[in-house]
Amino acid sequence: MAQNVKKIISTLAGFALLFGQSGSAQSGVQEQAGAVYNSARMWVPLNYNSDLIFFADPFSVYKVDNSEWDINIAALNNQNQYVTEETKTYRINCNTLEVSPNVGWRVNGIIKENRGPLGVRSIRDSRFRANPTQIIWSAKEYVCGVVNSGIGYGWIFSSFRNGQIRGIIDRFWIKENSVDISPEDQNLRRAVVMSDVAGGNVFDFSDVYVKCDKREWMNFSKEGTLNSWAPVVERSAVDVIYEKMCSNRFQNIAYRTAPFEIPAPKPVPKNELVEKAESGSNMDDAKSKCSALGFRAGTPKFGQCVLKLTQ
């Protein structure tokens, strides 16, 4: 979905929206907003209201100091038009919950500050304290994380469910914002991932394992279901999780060496009839007899015949 949104935005021309500034200032805003947008590998949903849909760049979270973080945000209006004035870098203080929406534009780690006509930077004058009724609260959660049952979780990804824009937003978080690295193999890593729905209170948990050198992943759910190793699909939730687990460059994630084992999957209960059929010691004889009786292999009556003879 994020790829489609980016494709839509990238085909739009002429960003017209503008703070009432001079032509050169407007051009500068457009240029910087475009740079922020084009620097993102993908945009994922943040939140929405009746007028705009807000997206965040999951790779843009940047540590300014021990309490302040930056994140890049973009927006579309109801006509799927790119909103220049809403595409920029937000600075969030995780201690005071203050937000600076006019910090400027951060591209590849370098900030282009938003300054007034006289070159005066006025970030502090524009700061405000976020509250849960504001869309920016979602950005605060993405940057600062959330707490569930006394345990902190750091955001890694979000998506509209089934591509339904303005629908349910599924969000994914890493427990304690940390990734475990196997001491025996630096490429084998594990993280506990929590998923939830924006605005909801239902949570799912699973252990995610990755092989960084092979670009593979595996999931172990709370029900004990263990998937097989599978390739990481580009521009997917797993792609973001994989990169954040395998790259040590993310400042808001703790990469720690810790021993762990990949658990054995719980046995999946078999259908009672199938179990009975497989338990028969004379399965081949039963099949031969049923064929001799005129039942055709693969039909329901053939199966019933085999089950009856092996009971």
Q: Tens digit of pLDDT for each residue in 66-118? A: 899 999 999 988 888 779 999 999 999 999 999 998 889 999 989 998 775 55
Instruction: Report helix, strand or coil for 23.
Output: helix
Q: Are residues 96 and 121 in the same domain?
A: yes
User: Does residue 57 carry a pLDDT above 60?
Assistant: yes
Q: Are residues 140 and 4 in the same domain?
A: yes
Q: What residue type is 64 in one-letter code?
A: V
Q: Is the dihedral of CA 215, 203, 62, 42 positive or negative?
A: positive
- Provide the terminal-to-terminal Cα distance of the chain, rounded to the nearest Å: 52
Q: Are residues 48 and 172 in the same domain?
A: no
User: Does residue 168 carry a pLDDT above 60?
Assistant: yes
pLDDT grade, residue 202 (50/70/90)? Answer: confident
User: Does residue 9 carry a pLDDT above 50?
Assistant: no
Q: Are residues 177 and 304 in the same domain?
A: no
Residue with tokens 């609260």: 137
User: Can you read off the two tokens belonging to residue 110?
Assistant: 């370098």
What's the pLDDT at 96?
Answer: 93
User: Does residue 21 carry a pLDDT above 50?
Assistant: no
* Domain span at 244: 145-268
Count of structural domains within the chain: 3
Q: Are residues 71 and 139 in the same domain?
A: yes
Minimum mean pLDDT range among 41-50, 106-115, 269-278? 269-278
Separation of alpha carbons 215 and 211, rounded Å? 6
Q: Mean pLDDT across the chain, nearest whole number?
A: 80
Q: What is the pTM of this model?
A: 0.73
**108-165 residue pLDDT tens:** 989 998 775 554 454 445 788 988 888 899 999 999 999 999 999 999 999 998 888 8
User: Can you read off the two tokens belonging to residue 121?
Assistant: 């930077």
Q: Are residues 91 and 191 in the same domain?
A: no
Separation of alpha carbons 27 and 23, rounded Å? 6
Q: Are residues 140 and 2 in the same domain?
A: yes
Minimum mean pLDDT range among 24-28, 112-116, 205-209, 294-298? 24-28
